[in-house]
């Protein structure tokens, strides 16, 4: 006997699956298809029209990992689509012009606060890193000058050990999601994936303190990625009106009560973070547009630019204040800024060849770096699975190895005599800053490798980018530096500390760029410092596959528009070459973490699959009536994990026909709204439709916007089980629907561009006896990887096409 609200038995193959995908059973038909395929009988091109093209497998989804090697709860999607039910419409109708202006003003005020707080925190991080790392290096330099080399090694290794330990312990025990850069998770969030615990207050605090400790420890990582994550954490806390864990909510939460507004604010936060890292306001906006944001509009462009403008003002104000020495060792340092506006950039037609060669090398090395990092992260995932102690030991091992290399390798190179044209106060310095570190050399000489290794990462960038210094660095020193930072970059990223990829890649790229400049010698008119800039840009493009935003960031860093043509050429070549080999580094990390990210472009073979065929291999469709029994709702919530249910009205009179009755698809209701109804116990003695005023007396739109409702906390009595609920006021009457003949590729594009969570499939033919909905598509169903898993015939066919 069929349950109320279920489709008739002849539509039993119509089904639904939500973000927490349930497992499918393998039918006898698909087993027979497996046997036929194993015997070489399966052929997609000669398949019978009456034989299903697709077949089932046991799972639709990949495993979901929040950290590499750490399993978490199932990943849900975000409700970016506005739920246009009766309460939402009444809420907007009831708002006065003043309230609408308050809503618009609030968005700008929050964008301002995001920029202000991000700029202040970035300044705090820079102040702390420059002072902690600076005093540490000054202390060690004193021991080296006194020729107490063992004591210098002990001090350096011990200080770095303690700083790394503090950062790792915070991450491992208090906020595991604070590890890494956070940019892949931001991409996933803006793509519609609700990554758990990524933007809470503990993550924010651990990210700030952990970044200070990890960067001050001299590890081969940067604070740029963490700053982007910090900006999004600030935006998330402001957008949701406080911290949900501690139930702290501010009054403006009434206005920012949907995922769409919070998504826009987090986009502003990501732009502000990039701007805080590079002092690049336009580059920050373009980074959000090109790299992290899936959905964009003109109003969002203005607000992100406003946030980055506020960041720049804050940073500039503090740099002016600290330039007079009021901030300890923090002067003009602490921010990657390479001003070459006073450098004459001249290049000729023949310089195109070395510039193109830099782009080619950057694309190849970038793809190799991504490949090697992918292998290292898979290895680290096995280590991380052994527990918290293994994570701590791994971080400390990397720290000790880094410290020994930083201290010991400069002793392997010979000292270089200072150029007579350079004053003694500039050359052969024992201080923290400067291009010419004396280290273990006599007065009047300097150690070029120590100038790079025995400095903070930001100072190392400025040193290796220095112009008009053709003989400053020896090729052997640059080669040692390049190889070392390739090794450190691979083995440092992935440990349990906040870490960014920008700075290690910049350092590696600048090393081989300067090497190529030395190799070109007199054949090129381009300064060797500019070769280092182009090398850094090429490796970033080859690894991260960014072009426009990266070009603007480097132009704002160098402050010289004359570099624009050759920078564009390098970036285009490096990205094109890198795309020939593998995915970008962020896409690789997304894949490793199992986040169900939807790519911008569907696979070509997805055009041969219809959404109706996708629905045919999913579990039975779960539907609800417009006026449903409480016991039925409780049973559905207990026995399914779906987050959306079609609402069907039986025996609805068709307006254009003479009294003909048919089933009507009233809309889609969310699981959270069902839980809210049960929690409020809004029950009816008899099955009937309610009036609008009855619902408004009991519910508000703000209450329905809450996401943290738990069905397990709802207690329903036996008497209440026999009562009814009118679901019409809570149902989204305008869900996105697609016809069953639409291709999976077209459906995926629509799903991604509109930022949907559920997409209803409706039959091609309408009429009496035909069920109005066939199934529901979610993010998991439209991922190419999952379709390949469910339909191995299609995957094998794709492989044969590649071989051809």
The pLDDT value recorded for residue 658 is: 62
- What are the contacts of 143-152 at 24+ separation with CB within 8 A? 144/439, 144/440, 145/430, 145/438, 147/440, 149/440, 152/407
Q: How many CB atoms lie within 10 A of CB 357?
A: 16
Comparing 14 with 152, which gets the higher pLDDT?
A: 152
Q: Are residues 381 and 530 in the same domain?
A: yes
The pLDDT value recorded for residue 768 is: 66
Domain-terminating residue out of 565, 593, 621 = 593
The distance from CA 50 to its chain's CA centroid, rounded to whole angstroms, is 44
Nearest alpha-carbon partner for 17 in 603, 617, 598, 599: 617
Nearest alpha-carbon partner for 194 in 76, 68, 61, 71: 76
Q: What is the mean pLDDT of residues 291-309?
A: 91
Q: What is the mean pLDDT of residues 778-793?
A: 76
Torsion of CA 386, 388, 393, 399, to 10 degrees: 130
Query: Residue 695 domain-assigned?
Result: no
Q: Are residues 580 and 609 in the same domain?
A: no
Query: Residue 281 domain-assigned?
Result: yes
The pLDDT value recorded for residue 641 is: 84
Q: Are residues 282 and 431 in the same domain?
A: no
User: pTM here?
Assistant: 0.85
Nearest alpha-carbon partner for 784 in 751, 743, 745: 745
Strand-pairing partners, residue 212, are none
E strand map for 48-167: 65-67, 70-71, 76-77
Query: Residue 328 domain-assigned?
Result: no
- CATH of residue 427's domain is 1.10.3080.10
**Which range, of 28-32, 615-619, 717-721, 788-792, averages the lowest pLDDT?**
28-32
pLDDT band with cut points at 50, 70 and 90 for residue 163: very high
Q: Are residues 589 and 606 in the same domain?
A: no
The distance from CA 167 to its chain's CA centroid, rounded to whole angstroms, is 22
Q: Are residues 119 and 253 in the same domain?
A: yes
Q: What is the domain extent for residue 547?
A: 349-593
Domain-terminating residue out of 593, 613, 636 = 593
Q: How many CB atoms lie within 10 A of CB 613?
A: 18
Q: What is the mean pLDDT of residues 51-70?
A: 35
Q: Judge contact between 641 and 20, C-beta under 8 A.
A: yes
Residue 74 in 3-state DSSP? coil
Q: What is the mean pLDDT of residues 162-185?
A: 94
Query: Residue 13 domain-assigned?
Result: no
Distance CA 181, CA 225 (A): 4
pLDDT over 50 (residue 60) = no
Query: Residue 700 domain-assigned?
Result: no
The pLDDT value recorded for residue 43 is: 40
Distance CA 17, CA 671 (A): 13
Q: Are residues 61 and 121 in the same domain?
A: no
Comparing 509 with 334, which gets the higher pLDDT?
A: 509
Q: Are residues 765 and 631 in the same domain?
A: yes
Q: Judge contact between 515 and 550, C-beta under 8 A.
A: no
Q: Are residues 562 and 605 in the same domain?
A: no
The distance from CA 575 to its chain's CA centroid, rounded to whole angstroms, is 20
Q: Are residues 58 and 186 in the same domain?
A: no
Mean pLDDT of the chain: 81
The pLDDT value recorded for residue 690 is: 85
Query: Residue 717 domain-assigned?
Result: no
**Which range, of 5-9, 476-480, 537-541, averages the lowest pLDDT?**
5-9
- Given the DSSP bridges, would you call strands 76-77 and 193-194 parallel, antiparallel or unpaired? antiparallel
- CATH of residue 49's domain is 3.10.580.10
Q: Are residues 408 and 548 in the same domain?
A: yes
Residue-wise pLDDT for 654-695, tens only, equals: 665 566 677 888 899 998 889 888 888 888 888 888 887 788
Q: How far apart are the first and last CA of the chain?
A: 52
**Which range, of 45-49, 540-544, 653-657, averages the lowest pLDDT?**
45-49
**What share of the chain has pLDDT > 70, as a percent?**
80
pLDDT band with cut points at 50, 70 and 90 for residue 34: very low
pLDDT band with cut points at 50, 70 and 90 for residue 8: very low
Residue-wise pLDDT for 367-426, tens only, equals: 999 999 999 999 999 998 899 999 999 999 999 999 999 999 999 988 888 877 776 556
Domain-terminating residue out of 287, 322, 357 = 322
The pLDDT value recorded for residue 477 is: 92
Query: Residue 702 domain-assigned?
Result: no
Strand-pairing partners, residue 247, are none
The pLDDT value recorded for residue 304 is: 95
The pLDDT value recorded for residue 555 is: 87
Distance CA 515, CA 384 (A): 37
Q: Are residues 174 and 246 in the same domain?
A: yes
Query: Residue 646 domain-assigned?
Result: yes
Residue 138 in 3-state DSSP? helix
Unique residue bearing structure tokens 């220095």: 466
- Total structural domains within the chain: 3
Residue-wise pLDDT for 441-458, tens only, equals: 888 888 889 888 988 877
Joined tokens for residue 667: 């809309």
Q: Are residues 665 and 751 in the same domain?
A: yes
Go through 530-553 and write b for each residue having 16 or more CB atoms within 10 A of its CB, e for each that does not. bbbbbbbbbbbbbbbbbbebbbbb
Comparing 85 with 394, which gets the higher pLDDT?
A: 394
């Amino acid at each position: 006997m069929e349950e109320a609200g279920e489709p008739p038995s002849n539509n039993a193959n119509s089904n639904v699956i939500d973000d927490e995908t349930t497992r499918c059973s393998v039918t006898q038909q698909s087993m027979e298809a497996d046997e036929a395929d194993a015997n070489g009988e399966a052929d997609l091109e000669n398949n019978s029209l009456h034989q299903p093209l697709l077949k089932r497998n046991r799972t639709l989804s990949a495993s979901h990992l929040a950290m590499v090697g750490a399993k978490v709860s199932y990943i849900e999607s975000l409700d970016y689509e506005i739920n246009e039910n009766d309460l939402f419409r009444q809420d907007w109708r009831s708002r006065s012009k003043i309230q609408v202006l308050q809503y618009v003003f609030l968005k700008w005020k929050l964008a301002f606060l995001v920029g202000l707080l991000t700029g202040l925190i970035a300044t705090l991080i820079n102040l702390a890193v420059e002072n902690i790392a600076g005093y540490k290096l000054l202390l060690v330099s004193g021991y080296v000058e006194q020729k107490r080399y063992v004591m210098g090694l002990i001090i350096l290794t011990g200080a770095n050990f303690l700083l790394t330990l503090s950062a790792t312990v915070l991450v491992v025990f208090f906020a595991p999601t604070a590890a890494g850069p956070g940019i892949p998770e931001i991409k996933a969030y803006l793509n519609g994936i609700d990554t758990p615990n990524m933007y809470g207050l503990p993550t924010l605090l651990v990210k700030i303190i952990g970044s200070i400790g990890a960067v001050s420890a001299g590890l081969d990582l940067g604070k740029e990625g963490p700053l982007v994550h910090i900006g999004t954490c600030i935006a998330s806390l402001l957008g949701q009106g406080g911290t949900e864990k501690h139930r702290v909510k501010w009054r403006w939460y009434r206005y920012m009560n949907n995922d769409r507004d919070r998504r826009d604010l987090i986009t502003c936060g990501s732009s502000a973070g990039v701007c805080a890292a590079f002092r690049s306001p336009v580059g920050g906006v373009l980074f959000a547009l090109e790299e992290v944001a899936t959905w964009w509009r003109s109003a969002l462009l203005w607000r992100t630019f406003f946030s980055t403008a506020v960041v720049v003002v804050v940073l500039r104000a503090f740099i002016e204040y600290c330039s007079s020495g009021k901030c300890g060792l923090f002067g003009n340092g602490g921010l990657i800024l390479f001003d070459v506006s006073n450098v004459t950039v001249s290049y000729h037609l023949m310089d195109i060849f070395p510039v193109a060669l830099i782009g080619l090398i950057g694309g190849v090395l970038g793809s190799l770096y991504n490949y090697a990092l992918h292998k290292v992260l898979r290895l680290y995932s096995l280590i991380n699975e052994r527990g918290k102690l293994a994570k701590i030991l791994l971080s400390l091992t990397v720290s000790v190895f880094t410290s020994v290399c930083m201290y010991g390798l400069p002793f392997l190179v010979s000292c270089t005599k200072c150029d007579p044209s350079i004053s003694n106060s500039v050359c052969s310095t024992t201080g923290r800053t400067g291009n010419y570190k004396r280290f273990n050399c006599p007065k009047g000489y300097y150690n070029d490798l120590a100038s790079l290794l025995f400095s903070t990462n930001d100072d190392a960038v400025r040193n290796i980018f220095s112009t008009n210094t053709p003989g400053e660095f020896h090729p052997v020193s640059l080669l040692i530096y390049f190889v070392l930072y390739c090794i450190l970059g691979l083995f440092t990223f992935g440990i349990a500390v906040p870490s960014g990829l920008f700075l290690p890649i910049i350092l590696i790229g600048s090393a081989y760029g300067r090497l190529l400049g030395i190799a070109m010698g007199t054949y090129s008119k381009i300064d060797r410092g500019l070769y280092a800039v182009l090398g850094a840009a090429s490796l970033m493009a080859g690894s991260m596959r960014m072009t426009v935003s990266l070009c603007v960031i480097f132009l704002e860093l160098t402050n010289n528009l004359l570099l624009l043509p050759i920078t564009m050429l390098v970036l285009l070549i490096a990205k094109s070459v890198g795309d020939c080999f593998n995915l970008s580094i962020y896409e690789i990390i997304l894949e490793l973490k199992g986040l169900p990210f939807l790519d911008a472009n569907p696979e070509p073979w997805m055009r041969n699959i219809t959404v109706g065929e996708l629905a045919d291999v999913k579990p039975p469709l779960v539907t609800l009536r417009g006026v449903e029994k409480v016991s039925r709702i409780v049973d559905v919530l207990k026995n399914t994990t779906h987050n959306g249910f079609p609402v069907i009205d039986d025996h609805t009179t068709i307006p254009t026909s003479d009294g003909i009755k048919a089933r009507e698809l009233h809309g889609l209701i969310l699981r959270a709204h069902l839980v809210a109804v049960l929690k409020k116990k809004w029950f009816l003695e008899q099955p009937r439709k309610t009036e609008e005023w009855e619902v408004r007396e009991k519910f508000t739109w703000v209450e329905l916007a809450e996401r943290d409702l738990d069905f397990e906390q709802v207690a329903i009595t036996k008497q209440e089980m026999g009562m009814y609920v009118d679901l019409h006021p809570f149902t989204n009457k305008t869900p996105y629907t697609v016809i069953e003949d639409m291709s999976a590729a077209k459906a995926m594009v629509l799903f991604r561009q509109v930022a949907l969570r559920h997409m209803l499939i409706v039959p091609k033919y309408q009429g009496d006896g035909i069920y109005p909905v066939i199934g529901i598509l979610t993010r998991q169903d439209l991922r190419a990887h999952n379709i390949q898993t469910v339909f191995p015939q299609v995957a094998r066919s794709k492989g044969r096409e590649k071989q051809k």
